[in-house]
Structure 1
């Protein structure tokens, strides 16, 4: 597939990093998050190279336009998965832009060759567990996602077992404390946890950002 659409962390509207980070901080204290995975129909690869280039440019233009309305990060999955080639990580103050983006993509010429194979929908919220900052021991809320410029993004949805919820809150907090301490041994990996309760089929969507 190649550039310009599918390079990891390609910044479609070419804004300086600081501007994007400022925009992330200006979002509300509750964000909606969507991970949309697309698979390209093999028939698309049989098109003339010139037609492929035109279609990719049209798709890139759509992504650029929506990157002005939400935090939007495209990632290439070529060579890593057999069931999808493109991931769009989307973060917004409300879910309406997600629907509008999906409609705009489907309306492009390349959209006729794209099949959304996975879609994970979630939101940020304050954890019921106490999470202390590694710097000053103050509580962390983690209500605002501010994506970094890391090269890689690892996404997985999950559900906790009934056995977990049968534990006391004190016991679960202890396990979470141990879990958090293990994560802090890898400072180059940035964790983004969002919640899907009542929104999607899973309970949590976790996304790790890293350059390694």
Structure 2
């Protein structure tokens, strides 16, 4: 039954941090980035996404995937030891695990392997209780329609659904890699017509993150538009 633990941790910087001296902010960014880079090899995958300028309550988030639950806490403790942590809030943190889907022929949990798409859309998801009272055949039919729409009409969008029953407040964490955020909007609009969507209780807040290195994301946090040097 063992699978992967999947966590999404969102960070927001205190605006007062930007009033610190430039050299101090640079040291803060470097120390935080050093920890992320050091821990990268301890995770199956550790990705960073910027939300600067998109969501008011967060500036960037981490997508963490590991088979060892303790690794999540170890990274958290290491980041808390950095100077930047004293200037960061964590408005959201979500935990989930992988498991075999009830609606496919797979009998083992599918390992999550990020595709490297430039954007990731993430949100917690809860179904209405009447969904679970439906006959298994009815749920299977509804989910087959749901999956077929995504697979056939939006093949460049990659779904990474994980399960939070009993370990967090939501039932599922849904994450979709895509080439353009607008592509995902069209998928969601199309799915509004599906039978399964009638049983959605909650699918917010929704976050759209842009894939970056930790140093690029922290540079944006500090108001630096690009790390690319001008050699002209």
Q: In which range does the TM-score fall when normalised by the shorter chain? A: 0.7 to 0.9
TM (normalized to structure 1)? 0.81
Query: 1:66, 1:47 → 2: CA distance?
Result: 27
After TM superposition, the structure 1 = structure 2 runs for residues 171-182 of structure 1, keeping only pairs within 5 Å, are 171-182=138-149
Given that residues 124 and 144 in structure 1 are in contact (C-alpha distance below 8 angstroms), is that contact kept between their aligned partners in structure 2? yes
Query: 1:197, 1:163 → 2: CA distance?
Result: 16
- The residue aligned with 1:13 is none
- The residue aligned with 1:68 is 41
* Structure 1 residue 50 displacement after superposition: 1.7
1:159 matches 2:133: no
- The residue aligned with 2:60 is 86
1:19-67 Cα shifts (integer Å, max 9, x gaps): xxxxxxxxx9610000000111111111112211111111110000110
Specify the SS of the correspondent of 1:68.
helix
- The residue aligned with 1:199 is 167
After TM superposition, the structure 1 = structure 2 runs for residues 13-28 of structure 1, keeping only pairs within 5 Å, are none
- The residue aligned with 1:37 is 10
After TM superposition, the structure 1 = structure 2 runs for residues 6-155 of structure 1, keeping only pairs within 5 Å, are 30-70=3-43, 71-130=45-104, 139=106, 143-155=110-122
Specify the SS of the correspondent of 1:101.
helix
Specify the SS of the correspondent of 1:91.
strand
1:78-113 Cα shifts (integer Å, max 9, x gaps): 011000001000000111111011111111000100
Structure 1 runs (4+) greater than 4 angstroms displaced: 139-142
TM (normalized to structure 2)? 0.74
Specify the SS of the correspondent of 1:159.
strand
* Structure 1 residue 164 displacement after superposition: 0.7
Query: 2:142, 2:154 → 1: CA distance?
Result: 18
Aligned counterpart in structure 2 of residue 188 of structure 1, from 140, 143, 156: 156
Gaps spanning 5+ residues in structure 1: where?
Answer: 1-27, 132-138
Specify the SS of the correspondent of 2:42.
coil
Given that residues 28 and 82 in structure 2 are in contact (C-alpha distance below 8 angstroms), is that contact kept between their aligned partners in structure 1? yes
Given that residues 29 and 144 in structure 1 are in contact (C-alpha distance below 8 angstroms), is that contact kept between their aligned partners in structure 2? no
Gaps spanning 5+ residues in structure 2: where?
Answer: 181-232
Specify the SS of the correspondent of 2:7.
strand
Given that residues 39 and 86 in structure 1 are in contact (C-alpha distance below 8 angstroms), is that contact kept between their aligned partners in structure 2? yes
Query: 1:148, 1:61 → 2: CA distance?
Result: 24
Query: 1:102, 1:189 → 2: CA distance?
Result: 30
Change (3 A) 1:189 1:140: farther
- The residue aligned with 1:25 is none
Given that residues 5 and 95 in structure 2 are in contact (C-alpha distance below 8 angstroms), is that contact kept between their aligned partners in structure 1? yes
Change (3 A) 1:187 1:141: farther
